[in-house]
Chain A
Amino acid sequence: MSFLPLHFTVSGYDFTCAGEASSKVKNKLKQLGYDSEAIRRAAIAMYEGEINMVIHGGGGEIFVEVYPDHIDIKMADKGPGIENIEQAMQEGYSTAPANVRALGFGAGMGLPNIKKYTDSLRIESEIGKGTTIYMTVQVNHS
């Protein structure tokens, strides 16, 4: 099956640019004429992941594969890792420091939002090694 591969490197220092990769993917999906609801779900999930990479993971790499009926997103960082994934998935759980909260993040809603907007989500994380998130958004053709 044919697909479009996209690759992005996300800086761990530049909060201003955080979300640029998600914005590019969103535009690409719009150009390709994908269903707007699917685009929004993929964009929000990827954006939450991208923000997490910047504020918790110290930056990393994103690989997106766009298929006719689904979008695969893999986000990998070499940050501190997540100790308890089940806990991290809970609404309201956040370890974000005050400076991050002052920027409007740290509600502990990012991972729950990703779960809500994707059709499958898998998180692999090892303390001291990093975190990789795999997500898939199905595209319904109307």
Chain B
Amino acid sequence: MKIKDIITILNARLLTPQADLEQEVHTACGSDMMSDVLAYVKDQSALITGLTNPQVVRTAEMMDMICIVFVRGKHADDTIVNLATQRNIAVLQTPYSMFTACGMLYEHGLRGGGEKQ
């Protein structure tokens, strides 16, 4: 699915207006532990998290992720938004909880990356 689809599905607000919403998101990862996120190298993923600090953006950057979704309407400050904008990472804010947001994306066909089958 595309970033714009995630916005629709999660009724999300886009915090980085310059982002290219046509980019394809192949896999996603939901976590509040950054080293868990960093344990799987996988292309073009989205990160769904309840954490809002600059290290979330850095983690996404190291992973070449293109989209971050903050759950439960968590507030992301200017530092986070600016950091993400510089790195061409789209930042979204959804009112849904982590569980619900992940479930809705899964229901629409998005899958996790790098899982042991």
Chain A residues within CB distance 8 Å of chain B: 15-16, 18-19, 22-23, 26, 36-37, 40-41, 43-44, 47-48, 51, 103-110, 112-113, 116-117
Given known A16-B79, A26-B62, contact A107–B41 (CB-CB < 8 A): no
Given known A15-B55, A104-B55, A117-B41, contact A44–B34 (CB-CB < 8 A): no
Chain B residues within CB distance 8 Å of chain A: 32-36, 38-39, 41, 49, 51, 53-56, 58-59, 61-64, 79
* Interface pair B58/A113, CB less than 8 Å apart: no
**Contact with A48, one of B38, B53, B54, B56 (Cβ below 8 angstroms):** B38
Least CB separation from A51: chain B residue: B55
Residues on the B chain within 8 Å of A47, using CB: 38, 58-59, 62
* Interface pair B62/A43, CB less than 8 Å apart: yes
**Contact with B62, one of A22, A37, A110, A116 (Cβ below 8 angstroms):** A22
**Contact with A36, one of B35, B49, B53, B64 (Cβ below 8 angstroms):** B64
Interchain CA distance A26-B59 in the complex, whole Å:
12
Interchain CA distance A22-B33 in the complex, whole Å:
19
A66 smallest CB distance to B (angstroms): 17
**Contact with A104, one of B32, B62, B64 (Cβ below 8 angstroms):** B32
Least CB separation from B50: chain A residue: A104
* Interface pair A23/B36, CB less than 8 Å apart: no
* Interface pair A48/B55, CB less than 8 Å apart: no
Least CB separation from A111: chain B residue: B35
**Contact with B55, one of A18, A44, A117 (Cβ below 8 angstroms):** A18
Given known A16-B79, A44-B41, A44-B63, contact A103–B51 (CB-CB < 8 A): yes
